[in-house]
Amino acid sequence: MDTVVAAPRVLLGRTITGPASVRVRAGRILDVVPGDPPAGAEVLAGGLLTPGLVDVQVNGAVGVDFAEVDDEGMRYVALSLPKTGVTRFLPTLITAPVPVALRQARAVLAASAALPEGSGARPLGVHLEGPFLSPKRPGVHDPALMVEPGPAEIDLLLADDLRAALRMVTLAPEQPGGLAAVRRLSEAGVLVAVGHSDATGEQTRAAAEAGARMITHLFNAQRPLGHREPGVPGVALVDDRFTLGLIADLAHVGPDVCRLVFNAAGHRVALVTDAVAAAGMPPGRYQLGGEVVVLSEDGVPRSPEGTIAGSALTLDRAVRNIVSVGVDVADALAAATITPADAIGEPTLGRLEPGAVADLVWWDDDLRPRKVWVDGEVVFDAELDLNQQFAAAR
């Protein structure tokens, strides 16, 4: 039986239009029809209907660190994320020795496979942010655990049981073996991102030639933009081959620079949270890759030494933050839907069109999620108590 959801405004691609109705059958969008709602449609009063948000860099949330996740923890994250508009997410693991990283990746994939249908947002595989990074730009990653991406290490990453699920690898292409690793991984269908890198502009461009297609958290933990040596950000902003991951908590990157990034390359920006276990939690001590991070009253997680350690950002707040600095609402929403979906090679996500997965978000006029569907089924409703929704999903 078809379900029809009608809204006064809808996001189609990168444009807001409306009114329109979205017809859903068996978890997919059958068609999108402009005009007044048909008989029997669920008519949304006001607000805006968009595709579900796609976050391709999530280290954890709601007290759960993906480096130590189990079935219950993954289930809790999956149930919690739709409240923020996220319907698909890419669990991310930070630097660890290769055997440890692979063990953690397999645990993430096992917990993802154990999720029952209708349990909320759906994981997309795994993203390894390290250990092939530059000790010169470590952030909170442990430089002692960073290694060069030799052929043997890449062989382990491309083992038969991981190849399809390894969706993204962040590495520093200027490290010995870096460009060869970019080529092998990209040829195997893995999205390679430049990050935690001291690459020059020339080396960043060489990474694109080798197949790299994304920048992990633009401006953060990378050689900075200079007026003669462009570094990673300078090349990324002008090279159309790169999708630009941006942490828009306005602490990692300031408001004016966020606006500058959208002015320069808005159609290539993918908003990410880089969220850690502290996201959605009160101030306190949490874990990131097994290490302690402290969330203070300012809402920014830091290592005990004071280095920013991921974020406590949610993707709906990232959208609101970007709108607050003067970016058009449609452009901000596209950066959290169609752009990350395309970057990760998921052409049926992040859009409202025939054949797309029926992941939907209904937003109020303040850009806060009111109702969220995954595969055509309601997984969050702001009118209901969240604990009741958790209980129903269990």
- Name, in order, each residue with C-beta under 8 angstroms of 224's C-beta and a sequence gap of 6 or more: 231, 233
Q: How many Cα neighbours within 13 Å face the side chain of 61?
A: 27
Closest of 298, 262, 264 to residue 282, by C-alpha: 298
Closest of 59, 130, 135 to residue 96, by C-alpha: 130
> For strand 20-25 and strand 3-7, is the pairing parallel, antiparallel, or unpaired?
antiparallel
Q: 176: buried, middle or exposed (CB in 10 Å: 19+, 13-18, 0-12)?
A: exposed
> For strand 301-302 and strand 291-295, is the pairing parallel, antiparallel, or unpaired?
antiparallel
Q: Is 129 annotated as a binding residue?
A: yes
CA distance 252 to 273: 10
Active site residue 274: yes
Provide the 3-class DSSP secondary structure of residue 352.
coil
Catalytic residue chosen out of the listed positions 65, 239, 274, 381? 274
Q: Is 247 annotated as a binding residue?
A: no
Whether a cis peptide bond, with omega within 30° of 0, leads into 131 is yes
Q: Is 387 annotated as a binding residue?
A: no
CA distance 54 to 87: 6
Place of tokens 């290769």: 98
For 227, which DSSP code?
A: S
159, 171 Cβ separation under 8 angstroms: no
Write the DSSP assignment of 45-66 as a string of letters. -SSEEEEPEEEEEE-EETTEEG
How many H helices and E strands in the chain?
11, 24
Q: Is 308 annotated as a binding residue?
A: yes
Q: Is 267 annotated as a binding residue?
A: no
H-assigned helices in the chain? 71-80, 98-113, 151-157, 178-187, 201-210, 231-238, 255-265, 315-324, 329-334, 338-343, 386-393
Q: Is 196 annotated as a binding residue?
A: yes
Q: Is 111 annotated as a binding residue?
A: no
Q: Is 334 annotated as a binding residue?
A: no
Annotated binding-site residue numbers for substrate: 140, 220-221, 228, 252, 308-310
Annotated binding-site residue numbers: 129, 140, 196, 217, 220-221, 228, 252, 308-310
Annotated binding-site residue numbers for Zn(2+): 129, 196, 217
What amino acid positions are annotated as catalytic residues?
Answer: 274
